Every structure is written in structure tokens, then in C-alpha cells.
Structure 1
């Protein structure tokens, strides 16, 4: 039997993508992985309550004004024997040094079809506002590996979502989450868990 991959999910806010991951695990959609840890960089994030509701350890390590933030993160991940990191609405930028310790072990969900509306400054509602301002008719979401360039890692999965004439940034954000993000992130996480489980079982 393959060793299960231990997953840490990083969040900053409500954790709707985290909930999609947790529900996927409960329903058997992640047979080679287990969500072992949820980390928030903001105090009082509802995502930590979601973790608690599923019996998953939730830890807050504030990033604002914390010069030792990444060192604390790394120590926690090592102590919990984490294999993979999933960024699920995580708004802190991880340094190249931190990312370099986790080659092809960190994935992120971005609310556009990369390379459109991505990179530095594009996050949350700003992405959807930019799409509406540009007048595109299709947007979507992308799951990609994380490297030292914001939204620059290899693309794993994408899904398109139609933009409607009466959309606002908030209605578009909700539909992209429902139709793309909550579908893609569990799929990509499950795939990466399986790949890593097979490598670990072979001693790679």
C-alpha cells in the first residue's frame, strides 16, 4: 500500500477552497493524500474554524511585521512531516528561498486563465475587476506549481468560465470559485499526492 502524502493548506481568509479540499477528502477524492495541517497568516481567519470542524490541526502564524515568519513556517512543516503545500487563498508572498526548499511541492490556485491577469498585484477581486475592465468574454482558474516568480510555475490544470454581460467583480468571483476553483484544486491536489506517494514508495 502506498504511503499517504501529508498535505498542509495555507490560507488567509474564509477558506472556501480549503472547504472544497476537505470535502473532497471526506468523499474519497484524495485516496493518496491527507490534509494534516492548516496554516493561516492572519489572526481570526474563518478557515481555521473550518479546519477544526474537520478535526484538522489549524495554526496561525501571523506574517505582518513578523521577520521570522518563514522560519516558523518551515519549522512547523518539518515537525508535522508535511510533504506538499497547497496555497488556497493565501495572500502572503513566499520568498524564493522558502520556495526553493519545496521544489514542485507547492501548488497554488489563481482565479484567471494564466498568463492573463496574473503576477504581482493580481489577487482576489483585483483579478476579476481587471478581466471586466478589459472586456474579455472568458476567464477561469488555474492551478500551477509555485516557483520564485509570482504565478510563474508550471500549469497543472485550467478551467474556463464564461463572463456574463451583467457580471460584477463579486458575481464573477463567486462563479469562478464554484465552477472552476472548487473543482480544480481538489483534482490537482489529488494528482500531486498520488505522484508523490508513488515516488516515496519507490524511495525516489
Structure 2
């Protein structure tokens, strides 16, 4: 059975979708959710779905090996960043090479990098008068949003779309594609 660990910082809708997708799978399961936000709704979502959920602080992930040791104990086949907002530390990337992926709410390389997350991305897409946007699932490396692209899905942006409209379209793409891409990666 393949093991998935999810990192998230906020509400956890992508984490919940992944947990539910793999709940009845004989091939993979989400074994743990980790968050840098002790008040994140993702903690409640994970606990409600009977998945171990823990929060940590910046010291635990970047100044000590506490989070790395938790991951080593969990033995993940894949680490999935689903709305995780901090830069991922090099020591974890080195310990789990090509096993850390992220979903980004735009078509990278456009609208990526530090500070480009959530509504910031959607507002930039609308302000730039883009005619399409989408999601990018990519490997995580030492730079924000610069890892090798695994998958992209697109949607149209019409002139009357607000950032909230774009966010809703992106959410649909994430719900549809993210679990399937994770499943393919686990069995490649």
C-alpha cells in the first residue's frame, strides 16, 4: 500500500478531496496531514476523516529535524503540498528526492513565485486580462514553483470574470484532476 502525506496551510479542501479519493483504495492511502497553521481547518477535516493531523511551527521544520523525523517515521511514497504556503525545506527535499509535489493555481511559469498563491494569483490573472488559466501540478525543488511540470489543465477566463470566478474554476480543476494525477504518480 502506497503512503501519502499531505502538507496544507488553510481550509484543506484539496486535502479532504485526496483523503476521500483514496479512502477505499487498495493501492494507496493518506496516512498523515501536516500543517504550519495550528488553526487551519485542514486539521478538523483530517480528524473527521480519521487521518492523523499535526501542526508544527517554523522552528520544527526549518531549524530542527522534527518534521523530517515525523516524515521518516511515516515513510511516505509521496508528499503532496495542497495549499501549503511556506517554502519547502531543502533537508526534506534531499531526504525524499522526486517525492514532493505541489498543485499551483495557474499555468506555470506564469503567475508563480514567492507571494503568488490563492487569490493573489487569481487577481493577477484577471488584472493581466488573461484569456485562459488553469492548474499546474509539479515537482517541488529549492525554488518557488520552478520544479518540473507533471500536469496542467486549462480553463477559459472571460472578460467579465472576477478573481472569485477564476478561483471557482480553478477549484473545479483541482478537485477533478489532482487525485488522479497523484494516483498515476504512485503507480508509475
Aligned residues: 186
1:153 alignment partner, one of 136, 147, 157: 147
Question: How far does the alpha carbon of each residue in 1:60-83 deviate from its partner, in whole angstroms, 9 at most, with x for none?
Answer: 1123xx2x3242110111122222
Gap regions ≥5 residues in structure 2: none
SS of the residue corresponding to residue 187 of structure 2 reads helix
Segments of 4+ in structure 1 off by > 4 A? none
Q: Deviations over 1:129-179 (max 9, x none)?
A: 11111111100001011111211111111100111222221221122111x
Deviations 1:111-136 (A, max 9, x none): 00111111222111111111111111
Distance 1:12 1:95 in 2: 15
Q: Which residue of 2 aligns with 1:194?
A: 187
Provide the secondary structure at the position in 2 that maps to 1:43. Answer: coil
Question: How many Å separate the matches in 2 of 1:189 and 1:137?
Answer: 28
Using the alignment, how far apart are the partners of 2:61 and 2:12 within structure 1?
20
Secondary structure at the aligned position of 2:32 is classed as strand
For 2:151 and 2:98, locate their aligned partners in 1 and report how far apart those are by CA, in whole Å: 15
Distance in 1, matches of 2:98 and 2:78, equals 9
Task: Tell me the C-alpha RMSD between the 2 structures.
Answer: 1.4
Q: Does 1:37 align with 2:2?
A: no
Structure 1, unaligned stretches of length 5 or more?
Answer: 196-204
C-alpha distance in 2 between matches for 1:145 and 1:158 = 12
